[in-house]
Amino acid sequence: MEPAGFITDILIPALSQGLVVTLQLIVLSAPFGLLLGIGISLGRQYGGKNLSNICKLYVIFIKGCPLLLLLFILYFGLPSVGITLTAFAASVIGFILCNAAYNSEYIRGAILSVKDGQTIAAQALGMTKWQVIREVVLPQALRRAIPGLSNEFIYLIKYSSLAYMLTVIELSGAGKLVATKYFAYNEVFIAVGIVYLALVTFTTVAVHYLEKRVAVPGMIH
């Protein structure tokens, strides 16, 4: 059995360190995943034929590739073509690539739901194509995409644990190490589960608040 003070002296410090790494992974991945997702959806919707097809193929590729395989390619495969990434960097890049592909699908759907007439009215006022996108299309599309994007964010919280497979000691990994060392699987994994649950719950509440803040009368999300 675990020694006295196991929770305070061993479990909490270990999980805290892991949590910091998990948060780093998320905080670095999510913004770029969102930006790249917006870029891909715009490329697909407004880009020329080539760009549009590239974006489409990219999404198909990511959807068809298990994330773990993508991480292995980035970490173990790329060095053979002269690109060596740290385990942490490979994880973040993998998460961004994956997160962006799915985000782009939600955003594209939301772009399609913005009424065409508003685009025409904006052009009729003299806005350039880019101004129409920035001032009229995206503000509405992103609002509508919030539920989908927040789902992806929640997935990201959970699949960030795959970084452990590249030796990044994030929350799950830290738990696994402690659990194995002290032979306390149930206690440790329940504790780890509670932390993930807290992260997801916090996200859900934050998204709810965000949705309320940006809500516009009559604009159904």
- Residue ranges that bind another protein, judged by CB under 8 A: 115, 117-118, 120-128, 131, 135-136, 139-140, 143, 216-219
Closer residue to another protein (CB): 66 or 147: 147
Closer residue to another protein (CB): 23 or 127: 127
Q: Minimum distance from CB of 127 to another protein (Å)?
A: 6
Closer residue to another protein (CB): 10 or 142: 142
Q: Which two tokens stand for residue 71?
A: 């991480």
Name the packing angle between helices 12-46 and 171-182 (round to 10°). Answer: 150
Closer residue to another protein (CB): 82 or 217: 217
Q: Minimum distance from CB of 30 to another protein (Å)?
A: 23
